[in-house]
Every structure is written in C-alpha cells, then in structure tokens.
Amino acid sequence: KEMQIQHPTAALIARTATAQDDVTGDGTTSTVLLCGELMRQADRHVSEGLHPRILVEGLETARDKALKFLDTVKVEMKAPEMIEDRDLLVNIARTSLNTKVDPDMAESLSQALVSSMQCIYPGPDEPIDLHRVEVLSIPRTQSYGDKEGTQFINGIVMDHGARHPDMPDVLTNCKIMTCNVSLEYEKTETQSGFFYSTAEEREKLVESERKWLDERCKQVIDFKRSVCKNGESFVMINQKGVDPLSLDIFAKEGILCLRRAKRRNMERLTLACGGSPIHSLQDMEESQLGYAGKVSQVTLGEDKYTFVEDCAKTAKSCTILLQGPNDHSIQQAKDAVKDGLRALKNALEDQAVVPGAGAFEVATYRHLIHEILPEVKGKSKLGIQAFADALLIIPKTLAENSGLDVQTTLLQLQEERESTKMMVGLDVSTGQVMLPQYEGIWDNVRVKRQSLYLSTILASQLLLVDEVMRAGKQMGKQPAMEE
C-alpha cells in the first residue's frame, strides 16, 4: 500500500495484492506470483500468434474448473467442532504466521491467537468481531508475570493507572463498576457566571458544590458496601473525570478508581467482565456489575498499566500483549497478529480448510491436464494448459526459497500425486514429499478462491488491453470525406 509504483502494469498487480489483503488478510504473495506466471505463460502463446481473446477464454474455463475442484478437495468441519479443536486452530494460525515471522515467535503467537479466538467466538450464526481483541505493546525491558514475549491476557489491559497514591495496587475477587458519570466540578452549558461581594458568599458556593459531589461519592460507597461480601473488592472505572478529593474518599474506602478511561476500553470491559455501563448513580443495581478474579496496577518502565484479569468464563473480549526490541519488530508482530486472526476467522466462517504446502496446486495441475484438457476442443486447450502450468509456480517457489532443486522436487511431487492420488505437498525442511494434513499445514479455502479469481481477472485484463487501446485510437479518427 505504501510503495510508490510508477509502472502501470506493476501498479495494477500491487492493487490486486491490496484487494486480496483487504478481502482475506492473506495470500498476497501467491496472488502476485500467479499473476506474473500467468502473464509469462500467456506471452509464450501470444508471441506464436495465438489471439489473446482465445487464450483468455481458456484461462477462464480453467479457473472455473479449478474452483470446482477446490470444493471437492477441501476438508469440511462444522464451526462449533472446529472452535473446540485447539490443535487444528493452532496449525491454521501457524501455517499463516510461519511465512511472516520467525518460527519461535510464530509458535507463541499461534497459541495466543487461538486462545483469543476461542474467547471472542460468538457462535455459528453470528459474525466474528476481531475488534474485541485488544493488541497492546509494552517495553521489552520490562516483563509482566513470569513470561516474556507474546502473552494472552484473559481480560483487559489499560494503559493508565489510578491517580491516587493510597489506592490498592492489587485486588482479588473484584466487582467491576464501569460507569460514565461526572465526579468533578462541572462548567455550565450556557455562558454564565457567579458574582459575589463577600468571601462568605464565595465559600457558600464552594461548599454547595462540594456537598453535591460528596453526596454522589457517598452513593457509590453505600452501593459498594451493599454488594461486596467478605473477601470481595470493588473497582470503579469511570469514563469521565473524578476530582482529587473524591479520589481520596474512595482510597480511604479501599476502592480502586480509574478516571478518564478510553471509550474503546469501556466497551471491551463490559464484554470481558460482564455487567453493563452505568450512566446515572440513581439506578445502580448489582446486576450491572462485572466480575474479575484479579485487578492489578503494574509499572513497566515509565508507564503505568492496569490489568483486569481472570474474567468470567463468558468473557467475550481479551488482550494480546506484545513485546519487541524495537518499533519495527513490534509493528511486524502486530501485522502478524492481524493476519493470524483473519486466518482463523476465515476458517471458522468457511467451515472448511484445504491442505497447504503446494498440495492443492499440484493436485489441480493433474486434474486440469488429465481430466479437463481431453474434453476441450480447439485452441482453448492452450489457455487451460497455460493456467495449469502457471499454478506450479507455488510449489516451484517453495522449493526455490528452501534451497532445493526446483525440477527434481516438482517431478517428485507430480509422480507421487500420480501414483497415490493423495494430496501431497512439499516438506521444505527435508525436500521430501509429505502429506500436509498429517503435518498440520492448512490453508484457507477463501484465500485460494480469491487468489485464483483475482490473478485470472488481472491477467485477462492485461492480455486484452492491446485490443482496447487499438480500438480507442481508431475510434478517435475522423472518417475520410468522399470527393
């Protein structure tokens, strides 16, 4: 998205990759590779005199057959069963992340992402909202808890703490009150002023304002005493301001009070802890309170964080903590988290996955060459042949990037597929043929489908652009006048 590309064809390919990322969140590299290889195969035939229109018809036929074949080889599974199968979800996330970050980081990220998805999954009939997962980066010099690196927090982490030194740092078995009420001196909505002639009159005004605030604080304290039994704590998180005197009152009562919380945190808090936001102190009920097993204030470096953890099992929001040595590493990890969550979301919405490691491309190549090509008559065969050959760029690139001999590896894959009729892929560590489904290498169905669609459409547009431009030049000419 940020690359400044001048060449018009390259700009089109980059735009296609952006569209792939927007729709599926993965498969951008595969789409670009497939676009380039389709053009290279097409150039071979066009240079021999084949008209682009005939070639495009063959490509589109081959694409439709490949998409039908994709529906026959995908492994279907109901979403409720898939969300319970943690090993499968970890494998899906790991397959997506291994191409983006180093293996150790991919492993820890995969575990955190699956825990997050299992937390926020609403059910088979409702859309999955990935915004419920808060991604927060903290300094590498500090670590929270016993572990370092990526962590899954079953709750919310807020990047600010209480503003009073006497408030408790750690509370357990907490009632969480999320509210949006003002506990500070307020300015009037209209342009108004208070005029006084003596110091006593001014003191009366200050006293009346203070009394109004003290009454509101007393309401909160009475409510806390009525709902908290022995061993229970009370945490108040307010979206509006709380003045220092009110904070002092709450601190003496043992209430942890956070003021000016961000709106997005307030929305996630009610999802994570339960309860509902309180907008008025007149109608407070115990059912509006949430629950958290532990609330703690932690200072990491110069920043203060509030961890609201161990929320109820019904929690529908969570946090992923990221650590990195520099901004570039943290940004890379954030991008990987986004891609991994999209991969899991795609699998759950498709309710199906497809074997990876180049298995689908090798199987589709054999299907097009041996079963589709003999049925087609005429020059369209050349388009199908070009499409089938272009698909092999995926296993070729896998072999080349792994330092393997491309031709030998490709022949091994094709021979194994021919003899076993199984979905065989490439083990990039050993260079041997393997079964991706047993190694836990799974791709998203919609990523494959979108990649095939976009690359074929772009190749068709680029092949036919000469005809459009030629027609445009001729249409601009004036007809010759007769003598």
Q: What is the pLDDT of residues 215-248, one digit of tens each?
A: 778 877 888 788 778 778 888 888 887 777 777 8
Q: What is residue 377's DSSP assignment? A: -
Residue type, 331: Q
Q: Tokens 């309401």 belong to which residue?
A: 219
**CB-count burial class (<10 Å; 0-12, 13-18, 19+) for 233:** buried
Q: What is residue 130's DSSP assignment? A: G
Percent of the chain with pLDDT over 70: 89
Rounded CA separation 330/351 (Å): 31
Average pLDDT over every residue of 445-464 = 84
Most confident stretch, 103-107, 387-391, 422-426: 387-391
Q: Tokens 């007149």 belong to which residue?
A: 282
pTM: 0.76
Rounded CA separation 419/133 (Å): 46
Q: Supply the mean pLDDT for the chain.
A: 79
Neighbours of 71 (CB within 10 A): 12
Rounded CA separation 165/171 (Å): 15
Considering only CA atoms, give the Rg of the chain.
31
Run of H or E residues at 397:
helix 393-401
Determine the 3-state secondary structure of 346 from DSSP. helix
Rounded CA separation 188/241 (Å): 16
Kindly tell me if the per-residue pLDDT of 273 is higher than 50: yes
Determine the 3-state secondary structure of 183 from DSSP. strand
CA distances from 230 to 75, 235, 387, 457 (A): 53, 15, 71, 67
- Spacing of C-alpha 388 from chain mean position: 32
Determine the 3-state secondary structure of 323 from DSSP. strand
Using alpha carbons, select from 187, 196, 157 the residue that is nearest to residue 306. Answer: 157
On whether the CB atoms of residues 362 and 389 are closer than 8 A, the answer is no
Average pLDDT over every residue of 289-306 = 79
Structural tokens at position 396: 């070729």
